[in-house]
Amino acid sequence: MPRRLWDGLVAQLHARTGGETHESGAFLLGQMTEHGRRVSEVLYFDDLHPDVHARGVVDLPAAAFHRLWAIVRERGMQVVGDMHVHPHSARQSRIDRQNPLIAMRGHVAIILPNFARPRIRRWSVGVYVYEGDHQWQAVGGCGHRFLVLEDDHE
Q: Is residue 150 part of a domain?
A: no
Is there a domain that residue 151 lies in? Answer: no
In a domain, 133, yes or no: yes
**What's residue 153's pLDDT?**
59
**Structural domain total, the chain:** 1
The separation between the first and the last C-alpha atoms of the chain, rounded to the nearest angstrom, is: 14
Q: Is 55 a member of any domain?
A: yes
Provide DSSP, 65-126: HHHHHHHHHHHT-EEEEEEEE-SS--PPPHHHHH--SS-STT-EEEEESGGG-S---GGG-E
Beta bridge partners of 44: 26
**Residue 89, domain member (yes or no):** yes
Residue 119: asked if its preceding bond is cis (omega within 30°), the reply is: yes
User: Can you give the CATH number for the domain in which 31 is found?
Assistant: 3.40.140.10
One digit per residue, pLDDT tens: the chain, 154 residues? 888 999 999 999 999 999 999 999 999 999 988 888 899 999 999 999 988 877 777 889 999 999 999 999 999 999 999 999 999 999 999 999 999 999 999 999 999 999 999 888 878 899 999 999 999 999 876 555 566 667 765 5
Q: Which of 104, 93, 94 has the alpha carbon at shortest distance from 129?
A: 104
Show the domain range for 87: 3-144
pLDDT recorded at residue 144: 55
d(CA 114, CA 116): 5
Interatomic CA distance for residues 113 and 116, integer angstroms:
6
* Residue 154 lies inside a defined structural domain of this protein: no
pTM of the model: 0.91
Residue 149 located in a structural domain:
no
Cα–Cα distance, 94 to 48 (Å, whole number): 24
